[in-house]
Amino acid sequence: MGEFYTAIGVKQESGPFCVIKQGERVFLARTEQLLWTTLQGQFLEKDEIYPEICSEKAGSCAKKAGEEEVSYCLRRLTNRRLVVKVMANGAEDAQKMLLKSSVVVPAAPVFEIAASAFFRRAFGEPGTVSSHDKLWRKQWEQRERSVLKMLGIFGDVSKYLEAIEGSQEALPKRLLKYWDVLEMYDRESFLRTLCRLHEQKMIGILTVQEKEV
């Protein structure tokens, strides 16, 4: 059992670096920005965070941050609930545990993501799936875009899981037009889809329902 950290909130698309959490806009200092961005879509143990910040992919400015400064910012962002800590048996387990009790939102409006970019972002490296199968690709895009549209309307993951298990009343009536999409999922496959979208930073965790974590 380990302690895993991840970022909460969604980055504002334009203007100065700003994280939106529960309708509140929070501006972060430089090292806080690096830390929050590093943890966005990832679940890292404490001793993994600083090496990840200093990795080449984090950029040269990240190397100017000292380990003590990063530790201080981690405590600060955790206290401000812009970072949460989850006790779990692994990063994947931590992600599922947190998402089950979260309210999520698309990180960018669905219509702003081109179809080809959407497919690549959701699966990571191109070529890891049968992208040559255009019909399958189109069907997948339509289904996942529908999920993102649903999350843009209503983001309480626990209610979607209730609906998938047979309780349509758990969802707002305006989402019933997407019922055929939800019927394609069981509980586990829906969570796997959310995990993939979160890992690829296509959705963000807006808030966590404390009593269920």
Q: Which residue has the tokens 């899981």?
A: 161
- Report the domain count for the chain: 2
Angle at the Cα of 105 from the Cα atoms of 99 and 110, rounded to 5 degrees? 130
The residue among 98, 133, 152 that closes a domain is: 98
Q: For residues 212 and 29, give the distance between their C-alpha atoms in angstroms, rounded to a whole number.
A: 31
- The CATH number of the domain holding residue 26 is 3.90.930
The reply to whether 71 and 114 lie within a common domain is no
51 within some domain:
yes
156 within some domain:
yes
73 within some domain:
yes
Range of the domain at 184: 108-201
The reply to whether 124 and 164 lie within a common domain is yes
Tokens of 90: 């692994």
The reply to whether 7 and 91 lie within a common domain is yes
The reply to whether 48 and 116 lie within a common domain is no
Instruction: Provide the whole-model pTM.
Output: 0.80
| pLDDT tens track, the chain, 213 positions | 899 999 999 988 777 888 988 778 899 999 999 999 999 999 999 999 999 988 755 555 555 678 899 999 999 999 999 999 999 999 999 999 999 999 999 987 644 444 444 444 444 444 444 444 554 455 567 788 889 999 999 999 999 999 999 888 889 999 988 999 999 999 999 999 999 999 988 999 988 876 544
The reply to whether 10 and 51 lie within a common domain is yes
The reply to whether 6 and 94 lie within a common domain is yes
The reply to whether 9 and 92 lie within a common domain is yes
The reply to whether 112 and 190 lie within a common domain is yes
182 within some domain:
yes
